[in-house]
Structure 1
Amino acid sequence: MADNGGMTLLERGSALASLAEYARQALAGDGRLVLVGGEAGVGKSSLVEAFAASVAPARVAWGMCDGLSTPRPLGPLFDIADELGGELLERVRGRASRDELFAALLRQANEPGRLHVLVLEDLHWADEATIDLLRFLARRLRSAHLLLIVTYRDDDLSTRDLLRGLLGDVATLRTTRRIGLAPLSLRAVEELAGASGLEAAQLHRLTGGNPFFVTEVVRSGSTAVPASARDVVLARTGTLGREARAVLGTAALIGNRVDPRLLTAASGAAPAVLDELVRCGLLIGDDGHLTFRHELTRLAVEQAIPQHRVAPIHTRILAALRDLGSDGRRATQALPVEAQAAGDGFARLAYHAEAAGDGAAVLEYAVKAARRASELASHREAGAQYERALRFADVLPPAELAELYDALADELSLVDRGPRVCQVAERARELWHRAGDRRREGDALRRLSSALRYDCRGADAVRAAEAALATLEPLGPTAELAWAHAALATHRMVSERHEEAIAVAARAQELAVALELQAVRADALITEGCSRAIVGGDWVTPMRRGLDIALAHGIDEQVGRAYINLHGMHCTKREYAQAEQYFRAGTAYCDEHDVRTFGTCIRAERVSTLAATDRWDESLDLSRHVLANAMSASPLNRIGPLACVGVIRARRGTAGVWEPLDEAARYADGCEGPQYILYVRAARAEAYWLEGRIDEARREAELAADAAADGDEWARGEAGAWLRRTGSGRVTSPVHAEPYRLELDGRWAGAAAAWEQIGSAYEAALVRLFHGDEPAQREALSVLDDLGAAAAARASRRRMRQDGVRGVPVGPRAATRAHPAGLTRREREVLELICAGHTNGEIAQRLFIAVKTVDHHVSAVLGKLGVANRSSAAKEAVRLGIGV
């Protein structure tokens, strides 16, 4: 079908046909993102190369992700700019912002009437900015004339990989397609073996059908099949002369895409030697560059270099890069555009400098690389470069060293590395103190206070914030003082001292206006809005104003914070429809701008909304995602997911309830925020009640009430409800949100209806169970069975018997167990009405339940039937013989 370096491309016809179809769709203005996954050596690049050769006159541009220890930020975009030229190239050379680069690429690659194909290879090595670029493009493909193809290894992705998160985010987009490449069959291996004399079955067994391994073995011509790919590759290098092997080793340390001028300068190679390497097939000429035919080839060559020779080779590469101008001190036209974009050139220089052991060069280039990575919102890579610089920074005076620690703390705070931020911020404070710079020491204390808050060290955080203000106030009005007021306002707000928070935030705004500090102004407005949401009054206006300022000035951190708090406050007030818009906008922004701390935070809040609206499976899935991607993250962002996992398990009666609830309690108790304590203690009260441990449940409810004392009407209401349910004699303030007020006033029917209107059938069931008459309790039991809340249903049966109810059903109803789709009685009633063509509103009227409850039942029915919509449900019901 196609040729791959002299070997036939086999068993890829279906994949090629799919790519051709996606190309036709993209040409028609219905863009596609194609994820091509498979193990190393399975032929991902060969497939895409064969496809690219067949789609002329489409414009195809390629970008590569490097396997460097710290990837070059937006390296693939720079590669593509080098090929496309035009506006994108101009903006790269002009060091445009990341958003401008993204937009320019989309404009240039979206030309009506012409197909553009962008290929990004080896995405498993991508930096965060490149991952964000993919998110940006993926969300805008629906009306684009663009085919976006990415290749990646799928055999060793961990749950914490950046790529894993991206794959989950884009999986549900209508424009996304997947192509998975499997190893070759025995028949294909037989064809590749051809007349080599190798026994095909043995070859297939030893290579696992991996096309690269098969090809290398066949190329070696050896009848004794080597046991590893490394041996296969090195067997081929054995035919080279000594000089050619040395040059090949230098090329392997440069990377997977090699400029011949750089290789010649670093190795002293004659042109004939490069010709020899290309002739033998180990290197391939590629648009003015040399590339290894496969990354496995490069790695095998690299690993074979004696360790004592590695540093000297890197030293020569570093010197050659400097001479060719990638550090900006000589003519930049000597290298391609990715080196002209200083961030990429400095990242390469820093990498080779560290490998060479050149501390002075590391300090110079790693810091420059970090700054450029930060400009491109590749904050993880920026942090890694600052960490690299600090490994060689002991020679610096305290003030210069403190500057590096400050910068590192800022980067790590954006990517949710909470515990490490505390260490770095404290080190910066110590160094500024040693340097005698009170202004910078005060600013470091402010930075430390924020890190301590995310680390759930609330008392320490408040002390640091107060110390920052005390240190800076005698120095007069400065930017650092404005930030200190803004930080303290946040701490006062989190501590439920809202009037103080509003006053301190006002002072921060005054200084921000006078000093023209838009970020401080946005931050203080957001804090003011949070506090006004609790004490009453117009809270949306200041918070939206803060968001608008942050968006207008590209202040990513404050944009993220505004979205989180707009979402969170609407959730606190159970205004879930309004919260939804901010969740969507907030996650998209935080993901595309690499503000991981806030992206994690808004998802951590989302799990609570899902749990509160009976979407328990979704809540658990998102909780696992957040926790898996936050192993080294801020404890503050773990509280919500941990509590949700624990309480949902408790409701269902499954194992593993107390481990997450205990961890959540440890974090919450260390916080300065009573709202976290309330949330966790209420969850624990419910879990104890479900187990029949009423004394423990009562103690947790009273701790929740302590935390809710200065909270809003929803906080006081939740605490008051659990005090009543657990038999505590304590009471909370009489000002409660409506569902709780109705419950505590004895108007249980109205309370249950209010919960159903909000969208929580579970909460409505609890109200009916605790306060309703016998029919209401039976209805509650039915709902809990329908929800799969086995432990809650058992607790309901226990309470009903205590209340003297006779004939309480024992366990799930036999009708549910016997039903062919596992539907409950209520779900079958809903299905029958679906089959009859009724809307959710009509079903609610017929069954005398809330529309929100019907929504829940419809979702459950679709899930149990394994269908996506109502018409499919009706067809499946007929097939199973359970429809009308």
Structure 2
Amino acid sequence: MVLLERDSALEALTQYAAQARAGEGRVVLISGEAGAGKTALLEQLRRDLADVSWVGGTCDGLITPRPLGPLFEIAEQLEGELLQACRSERGRDELFTVLLRCLSAPGPPVVVAIEDLHWADESTLDLVRFLGRRIRTTRSLLLVTFRDDALGSDEALRIALGGLAGERATRRVTVPVLSADAVAVLAAGSGLAPADVYRLSGGNAFFVHEIVRSASELPASARDAVLARVARLSVPARAVLDVAAVAGLRVELGLLEAVGTTARDLDELVVAGALISEGSSLRFRHEINRRAVASEIPGYRQAAIHAQLLAALLRSGGADEAVLAFHAAGAGDRDSVVRYAPAAGRRAAALGAHREAVEHFEAAVRFAGHVTPRTAADLWSWLATEASVVERWQLALDAGRRALELWREVGDPPRESAEMRSLSSTMWRLCRGRESMELAVAAVDVIRDRGATPELARAYGHLAQLQSHYGEIEAATSSLRQAGGLVDMLDLPDVRSDLANTAAVVAWTSGEEWMPLLDRALEIALDLGAREPTARAYANLCTALCDFNRFAEAESYYARGAAFCDEAGMVRFGLSLRATWGEILLGVGRWDEAVEVCRQVLASGASPFNRLSAAIVIGRILARRDDGDPWPYLDEAVASADATGRPDLVGLTRSARAEAHWLVGDRDAALQDVTVASVHADRAHEWIQGQIATWQTRLDAVVTPSPARLPEPHARSASRDFDRAAELWDGIGSPFDAALALLDSGSEAGMREALRRFDTLGAVAAARLTRRRMRRLGLRAIPSGAHPSTRSDAAGMTRREREVMTLVAAGQSNAAIAAHLVISTRTVEHHVAAVLTKLGVGSRTLVAAEAGRRGLLDAPDRPGAASTPDAAGN
């Protein structure tokens, strides 16, 4: 296929290759909609580059991707140490390190191409992140292709790309759709009207190519074009193509030969362009082709082909469990599923591919009735654990309950205790506090009399964790002491990290020094290379520092913790960190960013516990801005906190809702929430008590928390020294709280300064309340503030999103937009994703057309309009 309108992309890629050759390694994210021509671009680049070693792998579009499939393909090409490491089934962290060492070795520069990242398993996403953060010191070039129209529905892909976008070595190349002129060139001589081809294809290079090649009468989709093309194959060749489609995007020649494929049939498929020959394998040109072919195969024939492939793979003895499990499930082979799916699930979990692990264990438990109760219990336990990692909490709950039933039936108290702990954690994440505590107590009771065991140490440690969150200091300290003695006796370092985390919670609730304990917990976990304790330590550090208004320190731990969770596949803790990041952004006044981050958390399928913080942030900002309905968010957060019964969460959520009531002038409702928050405030940490005391002061109620325990900004407000409180809030970097303190002062100067700050923040409701109060006091020359029309937006976008939309429509890259708006490329990524969602389009290439259709680009003086950088970049 002739490459048209790709000169700029090829020039950029060639430049990045030269930079890598000079010792400045690069990772290039190559995006475009399905069929835009990303693979063709790479093929041309490969032909253009000399004196490089080119290796690559493709993410397969199987139902359950093979964990690290591209890495294993790359290993076959690089051979040597990496191939040996892969064949010895070493841990994924070691495999990553070995690959990086190969890319850093002397010799020709290495170009690594990983295609179709939108179909990647979690571990492959982690591999790309790992290389992206380290490749700059090598002479290698990492090329990653993905469909940008997959971003809106794939949270894991969006997070991975967002993390990579902020790396210094990262560059972006977009493969746009073709112009009408380019389509006319490609359609010449086909007998088809170029205008019709352009209309049908929308400029998609693959659609254009398939429509022109099929020469059919204006096929309505690429699927029709593909099927029209393969319909010309002979019956035997089409049967082989069906086998290849069931096998996956790429299939080894040896496997096709093992199922009786003849050389004549293979030759026909390659000559016809249905498959492409690549060394010892054949592949479809695009996954779209494979899926189009597979969609035409009747279900009974697919099952027969899966069985045929499974038998061939078993005869060869060379396939891994993930591939065997995939074909066993497709064939409906019960015994093979039970044999291979659990092994594939455990391997996927070890590699950090937890979503794939869930799929394998789900396949296995469908046949759990045909294995022994102990084996079935183990399968359900694995499924519950992996489901909890990826935030599929209803599945984790159902699987955990079934596992507990089976462990009781088997009569295995240690496993019963472990399952109770797991279920207790699940209940906690579902904000079912009473049930969580009951299970935690039962997990200790069921093995208390069986002597010193690791399970008893972990059960005491988990119980201490819950008791600490409820402010039950004496009980938590006692449980910690019991767990600590067992840990010392049995040498359980991973539990020691968790105990340090819990001891820190006890310390901050008691008003004692807690930071060294959390640092110690993180240090232990990192030394062990233990993923979950490390993720928990990062999450607790970030949360505690945020709760104590130490925002700059919290941001540092957030950045490190989020990167770790992304690389390690710790979805649950990663979402927790992102929700806390939203709270940090709220605290420092970066409200647009806070809303974006928290909406992503809410859209991710997060647990009620992780949703709670995100809902508070959005509810508070909507209430402050008078920009939408805050009550569904605030009511959800209050209901979840009440269901946990945890004093600090009740205090936090009730204070947030009290603020929203106060902003609309409902003092009685605000006071009711503050009263509920104060009931158990003595068991919450000092900053929660401070929030309650400040709101009691603001509402002219009796201050119940002890002033001696309050942080100084809140203590100053409680003692009505509001000017000093404002100074302290300014020192912390919390502008809204500082403005509230100035308003509370009641002085004319204080209220005028508060009004100025509220207007700057866009806190419309607070500004309106301030103006109303100033008018009641008879003050004159009150600034009117922004007209309501400047705060409205027909597309529901923020001011920043409108600026980004305008620049995207003008064809600006993310890097150019970041430079123009003086924000990070990662932030631009988030804004672009929001713009695509609000416009309802799947690709940035469609933004200009849709925005123009809605009339969003034809008013240069509209509020929030952005000026486009000129050709010189000014």
For residues 620-635 of structure 1, the aligned pairs below 5 Å read 620-629=595-604, 631=605, 633-635=606-608
Alignment of 1:232 with 2:233, yes or no, is no
Alignment of 1:724 with 2:697, yes or no, is yes
> Residue 376 of structure 1 is aligned with which of 341, 345, 351?
351
Secondary structure of the corresponding residue to residue 104 of structure 2: coil
- Superimposed CA distance per residue, residues 312-353 of structure 1 (whole angstroms, 9 cap, x where no aligned partner): 111100000101113xxxxxxxxxxxx4xxxxx211111111
Deviation of residue 221 (structure 1)? 4.6
Alignment of 1:142 with 2:116, yes or no, is no
In the alignment, the residues of structure 2 paired with residue 229 and residue 178 of structure 1 have an alpha-carbon distance, to the nearest angstrom, of 27
Deviation of residue 98 (structure 1)? 1.3
Task: Determine if contact 1:414/1:557 at 8 Å carries over to the other structure.
Answer: no
Deviation of residue 746 (structure 1)? 2.3
Alignment of 1:204 with 2:198, yes or no, is yes
Task: Determine if contact 2:374/2:406 at 8 Å carries over to the other structure.
Answer: yes
> Residue 540 of structure 2 is aligned with which of 559, 565, 578?
565
In the alignment, the residues of structure 2 paired with residue 550 and residue 715 of structure 1 have an alpha-carbon distance, to the nearest angstrom, of 29
Secondary structure of the corresponding residue to residue 709 of structure 1: helix
In the alignment, the residues of structure 1 paired with residue 711 and residue 124 of structure 2 have an alpha-carbon distance, to the nearest angstrom, of 45
Alignment of 1:487 with 2:462, yes or no, is yes
* RMSD between aligned residues: 2.3
Secondary structure of the corresponding residue to residue 683 of structure 2: coil
- Superimposed CA distance per residue, residues 266-304 of structure 1 (whole angstroms, 9 cap, x where no aligned partner): 2x1222221222122211110211111222222222112
In the alignment, the residues of structure 1 paired with residue 561 and residue 82 of structure 2 have an alpha-carbon distance, to the nearest angstrom, of 27
Task: Determine if contact 1:456/1:636 at 8 Å carries over to the other structure.
Answer: yes
Give 2:793's aligned residue: none
In the alignment, the residues of structure 2 paired with residue 812 and residue 99 of structure 1 have an alpha-carbon distance, to the nearest angstrom, of 56
Give 1:87's aligned residue: 81
Secondary structure of the corresponding residue to residue 109 of structure 1: helix
Computing the radius of gyration from Cα coordinates, the structure with the larger value is 1
Task: Determine if contact 1:37/1:151 at 8 Å carries over to the other structure.
Answer: yes
Secondary structure of the corresponding residue to residue 347 of structure 1: helix
> Residue 611 of structure 1 is aligned with which of 583, 586, 600?
586
> Residue 627 of structure 2 is aligned with which of 637, 650, 654?
654
> Residue 263 of structure 1 is aligned with which of 245, 256, 267?
256
Deviation of residue 24 (structure 1)? 1.2
Percent same amino acid among aligned pairs? 44
Task: Determine if contact 1:259/1:289 at 8 Å carries over to the other structure.
Answer: yes
Secondary structure of the corresponding residue to residue 281 of structure 1: coil
- Superimposed CA distance per residue, residues 696-742 of structure 1 (whole angstroms, 9 cap, x where no aligned partner): 01111112222422122222111011011112235222221101111
> Residue 101 of structure 2 is aligned with which of 102, 107, 113?
107
Q: Which runs of 4+ in 1 moved over 4 A?
A: 862-869
> Residue 527 of structure 2 is aligned with which of 552, 566, 579?
552
Closer/same/farther in 2, CA of residues 581 and 312 from structure 1, 3 Å limit: same
Secondary structure of the corresponding residue to residue 277 of structure 2: strand
In the alignment, the residues of structure 1 paired with residue 225 and residue 703 of structure 2 have an alpha-carbon distance, to the nearest angstrom, of 77
Deviation of residue 310 (structure 1)? 1.4
Task: Determine if contact 2:697/2:717 at 8 Å carries over to the other structure.
Answer: no
Gaps of 5+ in 2: 791-816, 825-865, 870-874
Closer/same/farther in 2, CA of residues 811 and 297 from structure 1, 3 Å limit: same
The one-letter code of the counterpart of 2:720 is G
Closer/same/farther in 2, CA of residues 485 and 243 from structure 1, 3 Å limit: same
In the alignment, the residues of structure 2 paired with residue 311 and residue 771 of structure 1 have an alpha-carbon distance, to the nearest angstrom, of 75
TM-score (norm 1): 0.87
Closer/same/farther in 2, CA of residues 772 and 225 from structure 1, 3 Å limit: closer
Q: Which has the higher contact order (CA 8 A, sep 6+)?
A: 2
Secondary structure of the corresponding residue to residue 152 of structure 2: coil
Give 1:457's aligned residue: 432
Alignment of 1:778 with 2:752, yes or no, is yes
Deviation of residue 173 (structure 1)? 2.7
For residues 302-341 of structure 1, the aligned pairs below 5 Å read 302-326=294-318, 339=319
- Superimposed CA distance per residue, residues 462-517 of structure 1 (whole angstroms, 9 cap, x where no aligned partner): 01100111111022221211111011011101111123223312321221222222
Alignment of 1:295 with 2:287, yes or no, is yes
Task: Determine if contact 2:469/2:505 at 8 Å carries over to the other structure.
Answer: no
Task: Determine if contact 1:98/1:376 at 8 Å carries over to the other structure.
Answer: yes
- Superimposed CA distance per residue, residues 39-70 of structure 1 (whole angstroms, 9 cap, x where no aligned partner): 22221101111101211211111111011111
Deviation of residue 232 (structure 1)? 2.3
Closer/same/farther in 2, CA of residues 283 and 864 from structure 1, 3 Å limit: closer
Task: Determine if contact 2:321/2:340 at 8 Å carries over to the other structure.
Answer: yes
- Superimposed CA distance per residue, residues 111-155 of structure 1 (whole angstroms, 9 cap, x where no aligned partner): 467422111111110011111111111222333322111111222
Secondary structure of the corresponding residue to residue 152 of structure 1: strand
Task: Determine if contact 2:509/2:683 at 8 Å carries over to the other structure.
Answer: no
In the alignment, the residues of structure 1 paired with residue 764 and residue 642 of structure 2 have an alpha-carbon distance, to the nearest angstrom, of 30
Closer/same/farther in 2, CA of residues 571 and 235 from structure 1, 3 Å limit: closer
TM-score (norm 2): 0.88
The one-letter code of the counterpart of 1:262 is L
Closer/same/farther in 2, CA of residues 247 and 813 from structure 1, 3 Å limit: closer
In the alignment, the residues of structure 1 paired with residue 278 and residue 425 of structure 2 have an alpha-carbon distance, to the nearest angstrom, of 49
In the alignment, the residues of structure 1 paired with residue 778 and residue 724 of structure 2 have an alpha-carbon distance, to the nearest angstrom, of 23
Secondary structure of the corresponding residue to residue 293 of structure 1: coil
Give 1:410's aligned residue: 385
Task: Determine if contact 1:748/1:772 at 8 Å carries over to the other structure.
Answer: no
In the alignment, the residues of structure 1 paired with residue 231 and residue 742 of structure 2 have an alpha-carbon distance, to the nearest angstrom, of 80
Secondary structure of the corresponding residue to residue 488 of structure 2: helix
Q: Higher mean Cα deviation, 137-146 or 480-489?
A: 137-146
Task: Determine if contact 1:160/1:628 at 8 Å carries over to the other structure.
Answer: no
Give 1:670's aligned residue: 643
Alignment of 1:97 with 2:91, yes or no, is yes
The one-letter code of the counterpart of 1:309 is R
Task: Determine if contact 1:509/1:525 at 8 Å carries over to the other structure.
Answer: no
Q: Higher mean Cα deviation, 165-174 or 348-357?
A: 165-174
For residues 99-178 of structure 1, the aligned pairs below 5 Å read 99-111=93-105, 114-178=108-172
Give 1:499's aligned residue: 474
Alignment of 1:50 with 2:24, yes or no, is no
- Superimposed CA distance per residue, residues 624-676 of structure 1 (whole angstroms, 9 cap, x where no aligned partner): 121122x2x21100111101101111111111211101111111111142111
Task: Determine if contact 2:587/2:735 at 8 Å carries over to the other structure.
Answer: no
Task: Determine if contact 1:38/1:182 at 8 Å carries over to the other structure.
Answer: yes
Give 2:502's aligned residue: 527
Deviation of residue 208 (structure 1)? 2.7
In the alignment, the residues of structure 2 paired with residue 868 and residue 529 of structure 1 have an alpha-carbon distance, to the nearest angstrom, of 35
Task: Determine if contact 1:801/1:808 at 8 Å carries over to the other structure.
Answer: no
The one-letter code of the counterpart of 1:35 is L
Deviation of residue 184 (structure 1)? 2.3
Closer/same/farther in 2, CA of residues 801 and 188 from structure 1, 3 Å limit: closer
Alignment of 1:681 with 2:659, yes or no, is no
Aligned residues: 800
Closer/same/farther in 2, CA of residues 85 and 773 from structure 1, 3 Å limit: same
In the alignment, the residues of structure 2 paired with residue 54 and residue 656 of structure 1 have an alpha-carbon distance, to the nearest angstrom, of 56
In the alignment, the residues of structure 1 paired with residue 362 and residue 273 of structure 2 have an alpha-carbon distance, to the nearest angstrom, of 39
Task: Determine if contact 1:453/1:672 at 8 Å carries over to the other structure.
Answer: no
> Residue 791 of structure 1 is aligned with which of 765, 771, 778?
765
In the alignment, the residues of structure 2 paired with residue 416 and residue 680 of structure 1 have an alpha-carbon distance, to the nearest angstrom, of 22
In the alignment, the residues of structure 2 paired with residue 385 and residue 428 of structure 1 have an alpha-carbon distance, to the nearest angstrom, of 17
Q: Higher mean Cα deviation, 601-610 or 531-540?
A: 531-540
> Residue 372 of structure 2 is aligned with which of 392, 397, 404?
397
Deviation of residue 236 (structure 1)? 2.6
Secondary structure of the corresponding residue to residue 369 of structure 2: coil
Task: Determine if contact 2:30/2:146 at 8 Å carries over to the other structure.
Answer: yes
Q: Higher mean Cα deviation, 721-730 or 655-664?
A: 721-730
Secondary structure of the corresponding residue to residue 139 of structure 1: helix
Give 2:573's aligned residue: 598
The one-letter code of the counterpart of 1:517 is L
Give 1:589's aligned residue: 564
Deviation of residue 867 (structure 1)? 5.0
Task: Determine if contact 2:429/2:609 at 8 Å carries over to the other structure.
Answer: yes
> Residue 725 of structure 2 is aligned with which of 744, 751, 766?
751
The one-letter code of the counterpart of 2:572 is T
Secondary structure of the corresponding residue to residue 179 of structure 1: strand
Give 2:681's aligned residue: 708
